Amino acid sequence: MKLHEFLKVKTALNDDLLSDLVSKFKKKHLKTGRFLLRKGQIADSYWFLEDGFCRSYYVKNDVEHTVWIEAPGELVCEIKSLRLQIPTEYSIQAMEPITYYTIKSEVLEQLVSESAELQAFMVRLWETRFIIAMDGLRAFQTMGAKERYGYLLKNFPNMEKLTLYQLANILGITQSSLSRIRRLK
């Protein structure tokens, strides 16, 4: 999905405000394996993915733990680092070549402060992300591995982009357990 289309659908901005907002974003490309953000950096931007997938992950005891997949048509940021201005614990890495738009947080925040429509959009965006996070937390606390796998595929079909290792990692199970679950489906 293109940035202009995303904002037109998600916001109630008039054409002038929409054009002004879109003009503040810079279009960029990133190769597979490159990073939007690395552990230890302080986030200062929002990114909109036009094409390609990214993954957010952290490393503990030399093991990578993928926590999320960012898909085309999503607005991406590392909100904890961005809001608190602290080094991030996560890396956001391109899983394939990506095309994205970037905007510095202070630029977006200035625009948001000037537009009730943009304020409403940002509130809806974060409410939706919070609901998704809470539903995911509940699912992972109350469901078995097979149910968690079904939940992920039903609610987040982009998870199919993950390698067996990454998907098993998100589910908190071994690769062999995931292979068994897939065979039984």
Going residue by residue through the chain (185 aa), what tens digit of pLDDT does each one get?
Answer: 799 888 888 887 888 888 999 999 999 999 999 999 999 999 999 999 999 999 999 999 998 888 888 889 989 999 999 999 999 999 999 999 999 999 999 999 999 999 888 898 889 888 988 998 898 889 888 999 999 999 888 888 877 777 888 888 888 899 999 999 998 86
The whole-model pTM stands at 0.84
Domain map (residue ranges) of the chain? 3-111
Q: What is the pLDDT at residue 6?
A: 86
What is the rounded CA–CA span in Å between residue 139 and residue 125?
21
The CATH class given to the 3-111 domain equals mainly beta
Secondary structure of 100-149 in HEC code, one letter for each residue: EEEEEHHHHHHHHHCCHHHHHHHHHHHHHHHHHHHHHHHHHHHCCHHHHH
Q: Residue 21: CA atoms inside 13 Å, Cβ hemisphere, count? A: 29
Q: What is the pLDDT at residue 110?
A: 94
Joined tokens for residue 71: 């898909």
